[in-house]
Amino acid sequence: MTKIFTLATALLLIGTAVHAQKKSELITKVSELEKEIVSLNDSLSRVNRTMNTAISKSELLEKENTELKDANTTLLGNLTNFSKISKKNTETVNNALATLSAKEKQMRIITDTFSSNDSTAIAILTQAKQTLGPEATVGIAGGDIVISNSLPTLFGSDSGSALTATGKDWVTRIAEIIKKNPSRTVAIEGLNITGEFDLTYKQVQAVANGLIAIDGIGAEKLQLLAKDGNFSEGVQIRLAPDYKGFYTTMKSEFK
C-alpha cells in the first residue's frame, strides 16, 4: 500500500513537473510570438508610411505633370501668337520700309529737280549776260531767269508800241537764248504803273511778234501777260523751268 502511494505521488510530481515545463515553454513561445507580432506591426507601420509617402509623391508628380502640360500648352499658344505677331510685325516693317523707300525716291526726284534747275539757272544767267552784254538787266527769281528792258529802249518812249532798231536787236539776242534752252517756258510780261493795260499788251505783243518772226521760235511756246508793275515799267522775259512737266511727274510718282 505504501509503495502504491509513493508511486502515485511520484507520478503526480512528474506530471506536475512536465506540466510546469510545458507551461513555461508555452509562455516563452507566446512571448516570442508577441515580439514577432510587435515587430510585424512595426514593419507594417513602416511599410504603410512608405506607401503613404510614395502615394503623396505620386500625387505630387501627377499634379506637377498636369501643371507642366498646362504650362507647355500655354507656352505653345504663346509661341504661336508670338509667331503670328512677329510675322505681322515683319510685314508691317517691310511695308514701312517700302513706303519709306518710295518717299525717298520722291524726295530725290524733287531735290534733284530743284538742284538741276538751280544749276541750269546759273548757267543760263551766265549765258544771257554773255549774249546781251554786261550792262543787261538779268537776274534769278525763284529759279526763273528774268531779263528786263525799259520801254524807251525797246519802243523809243513809254507810249510807243513799235520796236526800235535797238529793241529788235535785243529781241534777236533773246531768241538766241530761248533756242539754246528749249526746255524752258517763255513768258513775256509787260509791267505797267498807269493802269493802261491795252498799251502794255500791245507792247508785249510787239515783242512776241519780233520773236515769232525769228526761225525756231514758235508762237505756242510764248506766254503773254500784262500786269501791274508795282512802281516799275518795262518788259520782262521770264525763262522758267517746265513746271507743268515737273508737276505731271510728281503726280505720277505720288499716286
Residue 9 resides in a domain: no
- Residue 129 is predicted with a pLDDT of 92
Q: Among 125, 166, 149, 133, which Cα is nearest to 232's?
A: 149
Low-confidence ranges of the chain (pLDDT < 70): 1, 3, 5, 7-8, 10-13, 15, 17-20, 47, 51, 54, 58, 82, 99-118, 243-255
Residue 198 CA to residue 88 CA, distance in Å, equals: 67
DSSP-assigned beta bridge partners for residue 147: 138, 237
Residue 36 resides in a domain: no
Residue 61 CA to residue 199 CA, distance in Å, equals: 107
- Residue 111 is predicted with a pLDDT of 56
- By CB atoms closer than 10 A (0-12, 13-18, 19+), residue 83 is exposed
Residue 125 resides in a domain: yes
Residue type, 139: G
- Residue 177 is predicted with a pLDDT of 95
CB-CB contact of 137 with 234 (8 Å): no
> Domain range holding 136?
113-253
- Residue 45 is predicted with a pLDDT of 78
Chain segment 148-171, per-residue pLDDT in tens: 999 999 999 999 999 999 999 999
Q: How many domains does the chain have?
A: 1
Residue 135 resides in a domain: yes
- Residue 157 is predicted with a pLDDT of 94
Residue 18 resides in a domain: no
CATH number at residue 241: 3.30.1330.60
Residue 208 resides in a domain: yes
- Residue 246 is predicted with a pLDDT of 53
Residue 31 resides in a domain: no
Residue 200 resides in a domain: yes
- Residue 19 is predicted with a pLDDT of 66
CB-CB contact of 204 with 155 (8 Å): no
